[in-house]
Structure 1
Amino acid sequence: MDANCWLEVIVAASKKGYASVKDIIGTPKARERIQKNLLGDTTLVIDKTAEDAILHEIRKVPENTKIITEEAGEFFTQHETDEIRDYLIIDPIDGSHNASFGFPMSCISIAHATGPNLSDVDAGVILNIYNGDIYTAVKGNGAYKNGKDNPIHVNERKKLPKCLFGMNMSVNEPLLDYVQRYAEFFDKCKPMRLREIGSDAFALTLVAEGNLDLFMNLQNKTRTLDIAAAAIIFKEAGGILIDPNGKDLNPPLTLMTRISFIGISPTLKIQFDPLIPILAECYKHQPSNELKFHFSY
């Protein structure tokens, strides 16, 4: 199947996931804890319910596919092979704790890839579980919200001061240490309007749609699977994804890969580029994500 066919598959699977959880969002049922997943994070009822519905739909596809998903891990739909043609990368609920408490920033994320790295993703869907909005992209064909009649694009603002600046502030250390480490960088960006989203995939779609100017996660604990679908939507909407050293972001699509990243528009990146050496120097001292201050979404 080509990327367009796979997009149909993953959109259908995302809708099944949405239907399975829409009535429990923000309820005590959604917050019930089931187990620890392979990554050591707590699996909530809302995570497992969405994943089960998504996988049930995907297993109808005849192609032997490598699945990489947050709760069930990595497996093949039919048989193991070294000749992998199709990957599906699934985060059944990105922003699980937002969803479990009814905070309206969570989504279902599914991507298709033809190879083992982020750059190999050729189709993606993000489904907003609060209103059913669907963001889609196929490589080379642009990004859309709720169908081809509504293309989306990053905005064209050019000034860092006063921009709407999204960050992941679920820090894995005392907050004061974090702020002091990045103080010089933040000082160069002021005055900025800072927003915490609680879902990296959701945040990237906000930048893709032009509602945020840029988004940063410097915690080195986001999994590649968390942003696989959002990344292609973001790039097809004209955005640029880089790491804290300013290099193009292209991590492996594995369950254990952890990343830091920045999503930004081309026009704003012109102003951002002189700050990258400052940011990179600050980032060198970012602590391991294994510290006791680690909190999961």
Structure 2
Amino acid sequence: MNWNELGLKIAKEIEKDVMPYFGKKEGAKIVGYSPSGDTTELVDRISEDNVLKHLKPLNVNIVSEETGTIDNNSEWTVVIDPIDGSFNFTTGFPCFGFCFAVFKDNNPYYGLTYEFLTKNTYEAFAGKGAFLNGEKIKVKEYNEKEAVISYYSRKNLNLIGKVRRVRIMGAFGIEMAYVARGALDGIFDIRPYVRTTDIASSYIICKEAGAIITDENGDEFKFKFDLNATDRYNIIVANDEKLLNMILEEIK
């Protein structure tokens, strides 16, 4: 299976189907609820139906934000978030995309994160590096005075004065991809809120780009007992141990 070709094909079809709803109220119409209890909006349903149309005939396991888990007892599991940043999409904020990750025997195999508006395609096969539009990418060298991060926390953290910029864009998978390309130095969520579907594709991309990914204790980040759409995580992604240690110190 050419997972990269399939992932990009699905992304392009979703793009064609949902972009007419960008920034329009009708796209936010509630049509159901996800297994985690979140609302399913019209654009979520349209995009997920498109994904399932392609994946169901393959008899692979599927983990999707809106449907939950489809277990076909396959060695392959595909984890998808059809629209990462769906609230941004429906309100007209230009930060959202498609997340598509493939695991073999629960081990990371391939990740694709696609931005609809910019057409940027981030991807990585495990062990083969990370790429943006076919060009190899890596995290940028850490510079304390120039650091730019994004974070989500219920705590009142005093990070503004310790980095140059804080940017919070509301699409965690996309923001992780920005760390991989060097547009952000780090991102973390310690509410916890993010799920496997939010982070799986960009997790693979970030690892291949050289990012450090841990939990809130600084231990190597690991997905829980199985790949599912309901578990929520604390996760830190940083381009350097110095930044990681600064974040860990602040969140204690």
TM score, norm. by length of structure 1: 0.79
- 2:49 counterpart of 1:52: yes
Distance 1:271 1:60 in 2: 44
- 2:238 counterpart of 1:259: no
Match of 2:123 among 136, 142, 153: 136
1:31 deviates by 1.4
Distance 2:100 2:177 in 1: 13
* Mapped contact 2:169–2:175 kept (Cα < 8 A): yes
- 2:33 counterpart of 1:43: no
What is the letter of the counterpart of residue 203 of structure 1?
E
Count of residue correspondences: 250
SS in 2 for 1:127: strand
SS in 1 for 2:137: coil
Distance 1:270 1:213 in 2: 11
- Going from structure 1 to structure 2, the CA distance change for 1:158 and 1:44 (only over 3 Å counts) comes to same
- 2:147 counterpart of 1:152: no
Distance 1:29 1:87 in 2: 32
Larger strand proportion, structure 1 or 2?
A: 2
What is the letter of the counterpart of residue 47 of structure 1?
D
Structure possessing the higher radius of gyration over alpha carbons: 1
- Going from structure 1 to structure 2, the CA distance change for 1:121 and 1:191 (only over 3 Å counts) comes to closer
Could you tell me which residue of structure 1 aligns to residue 244 of structure 2?
Answer: 272
1:11 deviates by 2.2
Gaps of 5+ in 2: none
Give me the identity figure in percent. Answer: 28
Gaps of 5+ in 1: 172-177, 282-297
Question: Which runs of 4 or more aligned residues in structure 1 lie more than 6 Å from their structure 2 counterparts after TM superposition?
Answer: none
What is the letter of the counterpart of residue 210 of structure 2?
G
Distance 2:6 2:30 in 1: 29
1:191 deviates by 4.6
Match of 1:96 among 67, 78, 86: 86
Could you tell me which residue of structure 1 aligns to residue 218 of structure 2?
Answer: 246
* Mapped contact 2:216–2:234 kept (Cα < 8 A): yes
Distance 1:166 1:246 in 2: 17
- Going from structure 1 to structure 2, the CA distance change for 1:207 and 1:32 (only over 3 Å counts) comes to same
What is the letter of the counterpart of residue 87 of structure 1?
T
1:162 deviates by 4.0
